Structure 1
């Protein structure tokens, strides 16, 4: 199993940082020069992964310039996967670009999600439970109060995930998908095909729409509740400020 970060997006709402950097390389700890990529690679290393891949696109050269330093710092062999439509299409296509890696099994993390390593641990802990048979496992926040913009999930023990979308009444949701997934090797081909169907239907769709395509085809998708943890998806400068406060709080412990 390897780590996988989607870091191809431009993040225009974070200008001027993203005039020269992809969103995943905007500093979330300016004193130490740490980015979401740094934090996520550190998480991967802490749970025992030795290899990771980063899907790059917008300002890919900035990731290339840091590749050797990141490998040395986190003890991970890194592979860069190029998304040739990063500024045109949404992330269903971006994840599909890494389709050959999915067959190895991956822990997928969005390049704009600041989260603690306990999230990866929660996903991997599910594998140790008797009767584990999940092929796709979503990290789910069941504590946070939800509104319209969150990627919401309806899940039941009997059927697994039934719905994943932002377009849902928050009152009906089990929780929010935080942008981290464990994808077992057995799911690789099925997910790649579902992602292709998704972006061919509409290139502006999310990879979570690919998960919904899997569910609609009858493949079970499950969740791992992450408990009460501090995390944030960075879309704008307010989110960036929250991310920096989370990282500063952890550093001060």
Structure 2
């Protein structure tokens, strides 16, 4: 069994007024919320248990989740980040991963504001180790969440590589970067304890940290698969330009 963890606590301030009454995960494209579309993607990858971490306008999400659970015959639990206004994704992730550690299972972790080709979820769900989806095609810019992998070794078709993370973050030099982490990852059950310990340290340092940084230290002690998009399309939705791109991408994927 595998759990899908969807982070949906953020306020989405750069998308106002679209997010004035609802969190980003409940924005609709072609009459379907981003949350429902991501759950469907995960179901296609044989994931049938979900944790949705809520915060901003949480009642809207907690009301929808039982409807989606019944519609698709899956289990959906909601957990609340009470401090969503003053924390970031490290805290939301820790809330879910702490619970999973009590009865460890592999989990796929996705940002609730992502629109992705469903094949991306299948690829991350299918990797043997803890893994991260890395876009090795898209042109990087200052906003890209870049990653530099050292001691990198790739498989024959260069779809998966391993190695240690030298650096991760938006501030990295574009030419030195291996690609962009797209906010889709997987933690296997054997790695959850170490992952949570690193997350806890990140939160103690700064509750505004992203969970993404935890993979840097984890890569020093555990094997991480870097699963390349190799041209598969996706977008995060941070601002109105992203929102327009997401609508075009959904139309492209559905047609």
In the superposition, the TM-score normalised over structure 1's length comes to 0.90
Cα separation, 1, equivalents of 2:72 and 2:16: 28
Superposition map of 1:105-184 within 5 A = 105-127=106-128, 134=129, 136-155=130-149, 156-157=152-153, 159-184=163-188
Corresponding position of 2:42: 44
Give the Å deviation of 1:44: 1.0
1:213-237, Cα deviation, whole Å (9 max, x unpaired):
323x533433111221221110011
Corresponding position of 1:18: 19
Say whether residues 1:7 and 2:16 are aligned partners.
no
1:139-187, Cα deviation, whole Å (9 max, x unpaired):
1110111111111112212634332221200111111111100110111
Give the Å deviation of 1:125: 3.6
Q: 2:197 aligns with which of 181, 190, 193?
A: 193
More strand by share: 2
Q: Is the 8 A contact 1:161 1:222 kept in 2?
A: no
Cα separation, 2, equivalents of 1:228 and 1:159: 21
Say whether residues 1:208 and 2:209 are aligned partners.
no
Cα separation, 1, equivalents of 2:99 and 2:64: 24
1:39-80, Cα deviation, whole Å (9 max, x unpaired):
110011111111111000111100011112111222211000
Cα separation, 1, equivalents of 2:11 and 2:171: 24
Cα separation, 1, equivalents of 2:224 and 2:205: 21
Cα separation, 1, equivalents of 2:163 and 2:183: 21
1:197-247, Cα deviation, whole Å (9 max, x unpaired):
0011011111012222323x5334331112212211100111011101111
Q: 1:232 aligns with which of 228, 235, 239?
A: 235
Q: Is the 8 A contact 2:165 2:215 kept in 1?
A: no
Q: Is the 8 A contact 1:161 1:221 kept in 2?
A: no
Cα separation, 1, equivalents of 2:245 and 2:50: 27
Say whether residues 1:66 and 2:64 are aligned partners.
yes
- Between the two proteins, the alignment pairs up a number of residues equal to 241
In the superposition, the TM-score normalised over structure 2's length comes to 0.90
Residue segments in structure 2 that go unaligned for 5+ positions in a row:
154-161
Cα separation, 1, equivalents of 2:75 and 2:194: 26
Helix, strand or coil at the partner of 1:24: helix
Cα separation, 1, equivalents of 2:135 and 2:210: 19
Helix, strand or coil at the partner of 1:170: coil
Residue segments in structure 1 that go unaligned for 5+ positions in a row:
128-133
Corresponding position of 2:89: 91
Q: Is the 8 A contact 1:45 1:75 kept in 2?
A: no
Q: Are the structure 2 counterparts of residues 167 and 221 from structure 1 closer, same or farther at C-alpha, using a change threshold of 3 Å? A: farther
